[in-house]
């Protein structure tokens, strides 16, 4: 994963409360699937393969959607 995505992921992991997490996420235009993936990853603390299994999608799809989410969130956080 590219360094900027890793930094964004770390930032999301460091958000102390669910409310603050959702404040950041709600500023970003994400698809319903991307929102679900983020919730499963950061709220339910599932791994990529577990998210794929739970949602019935491939691990690669989960990884791609997460990268896209991180890029969108990074743009919002930089404003």
Q: Which of 15, 20, 28, 23 is nearest to 65 (CA)?
A: 28
CATH topology of domain 3-77: Arc Repressor Mutant, subunit A (1.10.10)
Q: Which of 30, 37, 29 is nearest to 58 (CA)?
A: 37
Statement: residue 79 has pLDDT above 90: no
More confident residue, 1 or 26: 26
Using DSSP, state whether 57 is helix, strand or coil. Answer: coil
Note whether 5 and 71 are within 8 A (CB): yes
Q: What is the pLDDT of residues 26-74, one digit of tens each?
A: 888 899 999 999 999 988 999 999 999 999 999 999 999 999 998 888 8
At residue 2, the pLDDT reads 66
Which tokens go with 33? 């699937």
């Amino acid at each position: 994963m590219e360094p900027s995505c890793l930094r964004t992921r770390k930032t999301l992991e460091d958000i102390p409360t669910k409310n603050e997490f959702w404040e950041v996420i709600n500023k970003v235009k994400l698809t319903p699937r991307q929102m679900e993936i983020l919730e499963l990853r950061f709220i339910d603390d599932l791994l990529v393969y577990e998210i794929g299994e739970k949602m019935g999608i491939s691990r690669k799809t989960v990884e791609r959607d997460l990268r896209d989410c991180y890029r969108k969130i990074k743009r919002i956080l930089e404003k």
